[in-house]
Amino acid sequence: MGVGQIDRLAHDVGNLNASQAAPAGGFVAFAHGEPAEYLRSGFGVLPPWLSVVLFDCNPLWHLLLLLAALFNEYFLEAIFGRHLMAVFNHSLGPLAFIGAGTAFVFGKATLLRKASVECCGAPEVLRIGSWRTAQRLLLQMPSTGAKVWLINVHTHSGRTPARVAIREAQIKKILAWMAPVTDRAEGILFIGDFNASPQEPAYRHLRKKGFRSAFLAKHGEEPVCTFPGEGHGLLSKTKDNDPPGTFDYIFMLGDIDLAPGAEVALFANAPSETDETLYPSDHYGIYADITVGAVRDKLAAASEVSAAMR
């Protein structure tokens, strides 16, 4: 995530509905700069105290991330310019980015409204290959005590058949990761940048497994696009300029459903008031009002989750 990007997204989310507006401080964010977290997880499952010593309280680790961010800000465009994504998508691309230090700044974040949920522990990270990771976090609804798994994902990019197959394999790996822990919650929210259109195997696999798209459930179809593509949305020389498409979703499974009268829509899809080329992200966001553990038939919901994990 870029410097200040989480605050901007929190501001936009807080102002989706004037009656629910909240300052950025009303949110808690968990994020992962993917290659950085991928490298960090390469040390294996560490005792919490050791992870704190090696990373959280290690000034050298934070200095490395800072230097990478500064390099990205001041030199990335000069070195790669419009060829950035071509280099990144090359089989040797990760080596170039690790060498330059810039890979440490690519990442995803999830914003949670503090008053709405309680976090049951810390996020856990899964390496899903191709320099990508997934996160999961167990949440509890203070009002009902119901729990839900939140999975934040960023699957592999690219439109070639090989990359389409990688995305499907990554989704299956995440579901296998979730199988042993699903009984700890009423359901699963699976969200993020899937880099997969509704026509792709990765999307179809999730639908076949029973995952319900919040946007599809509300509107009868997915958004026209969540990534505006070349020449639209966020504009910079180092932007991913693939064709536009719909790649971002909120999937629900189990005893989770849209709240009565739920709003489900895009956000962060308008430019800055002072710069029409500046957006919070190169993708648009999706938000949905949901309810957990209070709407669906309990037995049917449990059966749905069990079937999805097989």
Under the banding of pLDDT at 50, 70 and 90, the label for residue 106 is: low
The C-alpha atoms of residue 204 and residue 209 are separated, in whole angstroms, by 9
Is 27's pLDDT higher than 70? no
Question: What is the mean pLDDT of the segment spanning 74-83?
Answer: 79
Question: What is the mean pLDDT of the segment spanning 31-39?
Answer: 66
The pLDDT value recorded for residue 94 is: 72
Contact by Cβ (8 Å): 151, 134: yes
Share of the chain above pLDDT 90, in %: 39
The pLDDT value recorded for residue 298 is: 82
Under the banding of pLDDT at 50, 70 and 90, the label for residue 133 is: confident
Question: What is the mean pLDDT of the segment spanning 291-307?
Answer: 85
The pLDDT value recorded for residue 302 is: 87
Question: What is the mean pLDDT of the segment spanning 200-219?
Answer: 97
Q: Using alpha carbons, list the distances in angstroms from residue 284 to 86, 173, 193, 249, 260.
A: 22, 26, 10, 11, 24
The pLDDT value recorded for residue 77 is: 77
User: Could you tell me which CATH number the domain at 5-31+111-308 has?
Assistant: 3.60.10.10
- CA-wise closest residue to 123 among 40, 194, 234, 210: 40
Is 194's pLDDT higher than 60? yes
The pLDDT value recorded for residue 167 is: 97
Is the torsion defined by CA of 208, 212, 215, 221 positive or negative? positive
The pLDDT value recorded for residue 130 is: 82
The pLDDT value recorded for residue 132 is: 86
pLDDT tens for each residue of 5-26: 555 555 555 554 433 333 344 5
Return the domain boundaries, the chain.
5-31+111-308
Q: How high is the mean pLDDT of the chain?
A: 82
Contact by Cβ (8 Å): 163, 125: no
The pLDDT value recorded for residue 4 is: 47
Position 76, amino acid: L
pTM (predicted TM-score): 0.84
The distance between the two most distant Cα atoms of the chain, rounded to a whole number of Å, is 58
